[in-house]
Chains A and B, each alone.
Chain A
Amino acid sequence: MSSIDRRDFLKLVGAGGVGTGAGFMLAESIKHPVEYLIPYPVPPEDFSPGIATYYNSVCSMCSAGCGITVRTREGRAKKIEGNPAHPVSQGRLCALGQAGLQALYNPDRLTSPLLRAGDRESGAWIPTTWEDGLSQVAERLGALRSSGQGNRIGFLSEGVGGHLGTLIERFMAELGSGRLLHHDFAHPQTLYAAVNRLFGEDHLPYYDLGNTRYLLSFGADYLGNWISPVHHGLGFGNSRQGREDVRGRFVQIEPRMSLSGAAADEWIPASPGTEGILALGLANHIVSEGGYQGADRDAWAVALEPYSSAAVSEQTGVPAATVMRLADTFADTQPSLAIGGGAAGNHSNGVDTLVAVNALNYLVGNLGAEGGLIFNPEPVVGQAPSSRHASYSAMLELAADARQGNIEVLILNQTNPVFTLPAAAEFKAALADIPLIVSLSSFMDETTAMADIILPSHTYLESWGDDFPEPGVGFSVGAVSQPVVSPLYNTRATGDIVLGLAQALGLGDALPWASMEVYLQESWREIHARGAAEGEAEAESFEAFWAAVLQAGVWGENTRREVGSITIASDVVDSIGVEPPEFAGDSNGYPFILHPYVSNVLHDGQGANLPWMQELPDPMTSVVYGSWVELNPTTAERLGLAEGDVVEIESPQGRVAAPVYVYPAIMPDVVAMPIGQGHTEYGRYAKNRGANPIEILSPQIEPVTGGLAWSATRVRLIPTGRRVDLLKTGGVSRELGREIVQTTGSGASAGETAGLHSIPITVVPT
């Protein structure tokens, strides 16, 4: 080394300095990050770090009203399970209920009140305060109210019962508006109408699956999504294995095998929309064989005359021998039970179909019997939530009113009609004509994206509320939904938003409660008084009663409603009959019947923003993360399609694209698609995934309820030539000699269904 001049020296000093700095930072970067221990200023009584605290509450992920127990630690909800004391869930809970945590912690939640910044749907929002948001809405509402134009205010909600329902009722009545509507895609409106026509009841009866010996289900996927799947699952288990010496038998009648169909002893595909005709065929056989001995049996015989086994067989595609066998078994096995719903209840003849199905229960004496159909007592609170349900026709009226400028303000509560109405309804275009749309949604769904002001609600795990299961379980049950965690964001409970609006409007006299919690306590005093009136409470104070209800997570009255002998009105008997179903589109141009089904995990689409639900394999196909269309193998072969081939499913109303899934347990002229995917909004997990079959449904109306006959659309398939790998957890559907599923084909059912390439069904003799 010769010499180091000044410049070299400075360079070396620089190099040493940089090296030292880098070394220091390297050591710093591999240290543990600083963590804090944050104590409470004053600890809550029931809290100790590291030890879980459990709260009982009510699930709100669907309308069944299961009781839940939530495990919390350090003030965070960690796990949701069923509440063992609650008669609906009895300690069990479905996947969607378990995923309630992901609604709470969802990264796409709306975290504060928002005002629209740009054009509608531009996606530009400015956060604001609650005071500002509420006063802006109250100003508009107040102006309409004081000028006597309250009816220009609409409130469109998901089905809400309990005291939140009555609170909203009061609020809208004070505003002078009768435009309070509930909208749920999967609402069993045709079943309500059928039960009302047959038995004069406003409420659904309790179908006692747990104690029945023979169940005929006409299209109701009671284990998957029909009304109260967790409770039905318990009933199914009890009926099969819970009793000594008795093993319940289950028959499922539907064009596409659902989860309940797969669990049944016998799966019988009847042509779509002819389930009611089949039921009447059974009724005909029962009456003509003397299985019904009521005074009006002649009237029944006359009404059922056109439904001979032979005629029914021709229309439904079910062999006459099967019709007679089902009828005989149904009449001879007591108690037996017939239920109907799902796609069968949503054809153009939906109500008639369900009347026919429930009439079977009457004919063989299942009414009021254990293991049969049990009538529910009068509801504890208000009217049945079904009375506010907006059918498809009612939604069209709302849209027409909006177009004519008759609606000034529309308040949306956790309902998403832009997604759950077919494109033919043009509901979105109608929304554009409403000057002010307010959404109380917790998430940016398709309808909320059209809003002007968003006042976001808490999730149910942060809110006060209550629930009285509808349909009930045969006796009066209620449960209080209590917050299990402190609110995560600057949101409010729906009840508190309504009360806040009332306060800003100066409606303090009519709605004087400071919060939803106060309102609930006030209201539950009446329920407490009920018990005291019956002398059971032994002068227990309300405070003790309230604490006990919260702690147990459930309140109930052990009273069965006694109904005497029930006779069906003669005009109802005379009018019994089921017309063949009507389908939109001609069968030449549109050769397939589209069978959309409510997905077990995504429900009517509201579960699509939960990653657990997205990655949960569909129980029948094992497909995850997307949509598919199910084709019978013979159909697929005829069209030259294989699994993964993308086809366009076109109805007279439009088209959606989805990959093919070859499914042996579907009728050859039926194609099935799950509902729930195909969102264009609704957060990162739901957006732009799969296709929404509701979009292309024909606006076929069920005439009695005015509801959408959503299983009455004809479609054709157009291959696109594209192929995708279907994401699924299942491998091949064949056994390959592994004898994983051992079956014994019964002579009868194997022969009957052979033409459908159906899976042999195990038939166990009773």
Chain B
Amino acid sequence: MGVSIVPTLRVLKPLGLMAVVGFVGLVFGYWANAAFFPGTAPTQPINFSHRIHAGDFEIECMYCHTQARRSTSAGIPAVSKCVGCHENVATERPQIRLLMEYWENKEPIPWIKVHDLPDFVYFPHKRHVQAGVECQTCHGPVETMDVVSRMAPTEMGLCLTCHKEHQVEFGLDCLTCHK
């Protein structure tokens, strides 16, 4: 009495075809997401343009991000900082009106983080700024961007390449960044 697997295969054949088509779909879907929805340039609550502020008007980065040279985090300007100028500047533009709405309600503007590091990485802005690293090294040419997008993947390779290149003291120690 012989046992044949042919009948079983015959039943499975259409299923196998479906699996192949499904898998191709999976790969396509993944690619489509990564290619068209990378999330590296999120839509912000206000269309703030770094090109106008940092590029055209050449406002120093640290005029707004005041803490970069003093603190681990660069700091996002308080709403009052924006209003300081925009009480008088370009007051009629719709985006500035939007800003003043936040200000009048005394609400913070929920900016979306573009560059983010995981919690297990210790990255002090102040060390890098004080060592003379240009902001653009990691953040890209922000002064040319209307919408800020993430230039480089902020992963360990980026840190180590730079630390090696500049022969940073203890720059390759695990505990320098993971502490």
Interface residues of B in 18-59 (CB under 8 A from A): 18-19, 21-34, 37, 39, 42
A551 to chain B, nearest CB (A): 22
Question: Are the CB atoms of B25 and A37 closer together than 8 Å?
Answer: no
What CA separation (Å) do A244 and B24 show in the bound complex? 82
Known A23-B29, A36-B112, A51-B71; judge A18-B77 contact (CB<8 A): no
CB of A11 within 8 A of CB of B76, answer: no
| Given A35-B116, A41-B79, also A49-B73 (CB < 8 A) | yes
* Complex CA distance for A1 and B29, rounded to whole angstroms: 27
Residues of chain B lying within 8 A (CB to CB) of residue A8: 14
Decide yes or no: A43 and B78 within 8 Å by CB, A15-B18, A19-B29, A20-B26 being known contacts.
yes
- Complex contacts, A41 vs chain B, CB 8 Å: 78-80, 102-103, 106-108
Provide the residues of chain B in CB contact with A25, threshold 8 Å: 29
CB contacts (< 8 Å) of A129 on chain B: these are none
Q: How far is the CA of A578 from the CA of B37 in the complex (A)?
A: 85
Asked if B29 and A27 make an inter-chain contact with CB atoms under 8 angstroms apart, the answer reads yes
Is the CB–CB distance between B30 and A35 below 8 Å?
A: no
On whether the beta carbons of A48 and B26 are closer than 8 Å, the reply is no
Indicate if B3 sits at the interface (CB-CB under 8 A).
no
Residue A290 CB within 8 A of the other chain = no
Chain A 33-78 interface residues, beta-carbon cutoff 8 Å to B: 34-43, 48-51
With CB as the reference atom, state the residue of chain A lying closest to B35.
A27
Decide if A17 is an interface residue (CB 8 Å cutoff): yes
**Contacts of A12 on B, CB cut-off 8 Å?**
17-18, 21
For the complex, what is the distance from the CA of A42 to the CA of B34, rounded to whole Å? 38
Residue of B nearest to A48 (CB): B67
Assess A35 versus B22: contact at CB under 8 Å? Given A40-B78, A48-B71: no
Bin chain A's interface residue count: 20 to 34
Q: Within the assembled complex, what's the spacing in Å between the Cα atoms of A549 and B179? A: 36
- Please indicate the chain B residues that have their CB under 8 angstroms from the CB of A21 in the complex: 25, 29
Which of chain B's residues have a CB closer than 8 A to the CB of A48? 66-67, 70-71, 75
B110 to A, closest residue via Cβ: A36
A49 and B66 CA atoms in complex are apart in Å by 10
Give complex CA distance A17, B23 in Å.
Answer: 10
- B172 CB to closest chain A CB (Å) equals 24
Closest to B73 in A: A50
CA distance A177 to B101 in the complex (A): 52
Q: Give the contacting residue for B33; candidates A23, A40, A42, A50; CB below 8 A.
A: A23
Tell me the minimal C-beta distance from B62 to chain A in angstroms. Answer: 13
Is A35 in contact with B113, judged by CB distance below 8 angstroms?
yes
A28 within 8 A of B: yes
B63 CB–A CB distance under 8 Å: no
- Contact of A27 (CB < 8 Å), options: B34, B76, B103, B125: B34
Decide: A39 and B111 in contact? CB cutoff 8 A: yes
Provide the residues of chain A in CB contact with B137, threshold 8 Å.
none
Cβ < 8 Å to A, chain B residues 101-139: 102-103, 106-113, 116, 124-125
Known: A19-B21, A32-B116. A38 touches B14 (CB 8 A): no
Give the distance in Å from the alpha carbon of A1 to the alpha carbon of B16 in the complex.
12
> Is the Cβ of B108 less than 8 Å from the Cβ of A38?
yes
Chain B residues with Cβ under 8 A from A27's Cβ? 29-30, 33-34
Chain B 79-101 per-residue mask, 1 if CB under 8 angstroms from chain A, else 0: 11000000000000000000000
Chain B residues closer than 8 Å to A39, beta-carbon distance = 76-79, 108-109, 111
Contact between B29 and A20, CB atoms less than 8 A apart: yes
Q: With A17-B25, A24-B30, A40-B108 known to touch, is A51 a contact of B67 (CB < 8 Å)?
A: yes
Q: Smallest CB-CB separation from B20: which chain A residue?
A: A15
- Residues of B near A51 (CB, < 8 A) are 67, 70-72
Is the CB–CB distance between A23 and B28 below 8 Å? Answer: yes
Min CB–CB distance B105 → chain A (angstroms): 9
Q: How far is the CB of A42 from chain B (nearest CB, A)?
A: 5
Which residues from chain A contact B110 at a C-beta distance below 8 Å?
36-38
Q: Is A123 an interface residue (CB 8 A)?
A: no
> Is A200 close to B, CB under 8 A?
no
Closest Cβ neighbor of A13 among chain B residues: B21
CB A47 to nearest CB in B, in angstroms, measures 9
Rounded to whole angstroms, the CA-CA distance of A315 and B153 in the bound complex is 80
Q: Are B42 and A34 in contact (CB under 8 A)?
A: yes
A19 B78 Cβ-Cβ under 8 A: no
B71 touches A49 (CB 8 A): yes
Q: How far is the CA of A43 from the CA of B73 in the complex (A)?
A: 15
Q: Chain A's nearest CB lies how many Å from the CB of B98? A: 14
A24 touches B108 (CB 8 A): no
Provide the residues of chain A in CB contact with B73, threshold 8 Å: 49-50
Q: Is A22 an interface residue (CB 8 A)?
A: yes
Separation of A49 and B74 alpha carbons in the complex (Å): 8
By Cβ-Cβ distance, the 8 closest A-B pairs, closest first, are A19-B25, A23-B29, A50-B71, A27-B33, A19-B22, A20-B29, A50-B73, A50-B72
Residues of chain B whose beta carbon lies under 8 Å from any beta carbon of chain A: 14, 17-19, 21-34, 37, 39, 42, 66-67, 70-73, 75-80, 102-103, 106-113, 116, 124-125
Interface CB pairs A-B, < 8 A, 17: A15-B22, A19-B29, A20-B26, A20-B32, A23-B26, A26-B30, A31-B39, A32-B116, A37-B110, A40-B80, A41-B78, A41-B103, A48-B75, A49-B71, A50-B67, A50-B71, A51-B67
Residues of A within 8 A of B (CB): 1, 8, 11-12, 15-28, 31-32, 34-43, 48-51
Q: What 7 new A-B contacts, CB under 8 Å, besides A19-B29, A39-B77, A40-B80? A: A12-B17, A27-B33, A28-B37, A34-B42, A41-B80, A42-B80, A48-B66
